[in-house]
């Protein structure tokens, strides 16, 4: 069974959609992405959290906001923080390099 990974950032415009795009075809995993802001392109939902085996956030602040808003949906969920600031455009080669390096410990 594929491991399900949910990538989160603030707006779901740059970092988490880039992560979703670069890992979409990787064998052994299924990916999705969302944003923590209420006006995000795809706002995070409890259904996405239930679906995910691993939740990957870009910044420590995202983990804090996620825990504050959705604590009852996070029981038994692993949350990884990549420490990638909001300094990159969608599919920026530097962002892709950071995502690949920092996701390596969490991906099959």
Name the band, by pLDDT with cuts 50, 70 and 90, for residue 82: very high
Provide, rounded to the nearest whole percent, the portion of the chain with pLDDT above 90.
95
Residue 69 gets which letter from DSSP?
H
Return mean pLDDT, the chain.
Answer: 96
- For the record, the structure tokens of 79 come out as 């949350």
* Cα separation, 58 vs 87, whole angstroms: 11
Domain extents in the chain:
3-106
Which residue is associated with the tokens 């969302």? 34
Which CB contacts under 8 angstroms, 24+ apart, belong to 35-39? 35/8, 35/9, 35/10, 35/11, 36/8, 36/9, 36/10, 36/62, 36/65, 36/66, 36/69, 37/10, 37/11, 39/11
By DSSP bridging, strand 78-81 and strand 54-57 are parallel
- Percent of the chain exceeding pLDDT 70 equals 100
**pLDDT exceeds cutoff 80 at 73:** yes
Give the predicted TM-score (pTM) of the model: 0.96
Asked if residues 17 and 90 have their Cβ atoms less than 8 Å apart, the reply is yes
With bands split at pLDDT 50, 70 and 90, how would you rate the model's confidence at 71? very high
Q: Which helix (H) or strand (E) holds 5?
A: strand 3-9
Look up tokens 């995993």; give the residue. 29
Topology adopted by domain 3-106: Rossmann fold (3.40.50)
Q: What is the pLDDT of residue 2?
A: 82
Is the pLDDT assigned to residue 1 strictly greater than 80?
A: no
- Looking at residue 52, its pLDDT comes to 97
Look at residue 49 in the predicted model and tell me its pLDDT. Answer: 97
């Amino acid at each position: 069974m594929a491991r399900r990974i949910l990538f989160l950032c603030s707006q779901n415009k740059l970092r988490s959609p880039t992560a979703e795009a670069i890992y979409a075809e990787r064998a052994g995993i299924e990916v999705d992405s969302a944003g923590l802001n209420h006006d995000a392109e795809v706002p995070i939902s409890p259904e996405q959290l239930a679906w995910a085996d691993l939740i990957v956030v870009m910044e420590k602040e995202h983990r804090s906001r996620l825990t504050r808003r959705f604590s009852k949906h996070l029981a038994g969920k692993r949350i990884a923080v990549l420490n990638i600031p909001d300094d990159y455009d969608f599919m920026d080669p530097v962002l892709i390099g950071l995502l690949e390096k920092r996701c390596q410990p969490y991906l099959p």
